[in-house]
A and B are shown apart, each in its own frame.
Chain A
Amino acid sequence: MKVETKLFAYLCVFFAVLTLIYGFWSKWEEPIGTTALLLTMLLFLLTGFYLYVTGKALPLRPEDNITGEIDEGEGNYGYFVASSWTPLWLALAGAVMFTGLAVGWWLFIIGAFLGAVALVLWVFESFSGEYSI
């Protein structure tokens, strides 16, 4: 994953330099932009660091090999639920909760109960019963 890591590492360095330029230009008296730029740098650092660590832990992928072939990339990519209604219930419960913020707390509490049920259904959908993964 060298290319991915480099992409984020370069952007991290870019924003580090930008933070310094911005800071000196504004004499470190303008906190909003400085904070935003510094944390943008950290955003790229976080993702870049993760890609670096993952890249070191995994064997070389076909994408990393200059003479790689398409069929080398076959195999399992992960587990994907075929179809599921539970995200819809969770989203509807969220909608009821946010409507509750505008209408009244009684509606929010009802939404929170629905949300708790939907969340449990979603989390355990693939992790319980006969066909759990």
Chain B
Amino acid sequence: MVAVGTIVWLSSELMFFAGVFAVYFQLRSVRADLWAEQTAKLNVTFAAINATVLVISSVWCQLGVWKAERGQKARTGSLLDLKSWGMREWYVLTYLFGAFFIAGQVMEYAELTHENVTLSSDAYGSIFYMATGLHGIHVTGGLIAFLLIIARTFTTKRYTHANATGAVVTSYYWHFVDVVWIALFITIYILK
């Protein structure tokens, strides 16, 4: 029930991002001159490293999901023994990678603001911050969800099926946000 609801909600989220992509392509098709000028200011290498971190976080998330599905909420051995890690440890690692991504986004925003690309500077600035910002808010929401899911492993005595479902649907959301970023990254930084 929870999983089906999450998927249906995520497909509606897809249409939300469809609106963002449509605005981006439409503005680009009418203001090619502005795009040529402003996209030159993007730091593609930095953004590529940041995107890689987000993609890797999805891998850690999936490793956590497999542990959750087997009902293993926490590590059984030492912290250095990766094989004994449970869902909690992998989700903490995912959280750290996700937080790194958001910190990178903030740095990138600061850099672009110095170069006079702001939300109100021109059409490019508006859609750049709208697209990456709305995605950033989604990632931040995912980070809060991870904290709640990790906290749940401490408040329940047994790691039940309902707990595991919560962890699994959070991973659906995280993978979705990750895929949206790949599409946004290709659109904004590679196609320009």
- The answer to whether B155 touches A39 (Cβ under 8 A) is no
Question: Do A35 and B162 touch across chains, with their CB atoms under 8 A apart?
Answer: no
- B2 / chain A contacts, CB cutoff of 8 Å: 78
Contact A127 B152 (CB under 8 A): yes
Give B176 Cβ to nearest chain A Cβ, in Å.
Answer: 8
Of A39, A47, A78, A79, which contacts B21 at CB under 8 A? Answer: A39
B163 within 8 A of A: yes
Do the beta carbons of A78 and B1 come within 8 Å of each other? yes
Chain A, range 99-131, C-beta contacts under 8 Å to B: 119-120, 123-124, 126-128
Contacts of B40 in A (CB 8 A): none
Q: Quick check: A47 and B156 within 8 Å, CB to CB?
A: no
Instruction: Kindly provide the distance from the CB of A25 to the nearest chain B CB, expressed in whole angstroms.
Output: 16
Chain A residues with Cβ below 8 Å from B26 are 31-32
Contact B160 A47 (CB under 8 A): no
Nearest-CB residue, chain A, relative to B160: A133
Beta-carbon nearest neighbor of A80 in chain B = B1
Q: Which residues of A does B touch, CB under 8 Å?
A: 29, 31-32, 34-36, 38-40, 42-44, 46-47, 50, 54, 77-79, 119-120, 123-124, 126-128, 132-133
The 9 closest A-B pairs by CB, nearest first: A31-B25, A39-B18, A128-B155, A78-B1, A35-B22, A32-B22, A43-B11, A50-B7, A132-B156
Give residues in B with beta carbon < 8 Å to A. 1-4, 7-8, 10-12, 14-15, 17-19, 21-23, 25-26, 28-29, 148, 151-152, 155-157, 160, 162-163, 166
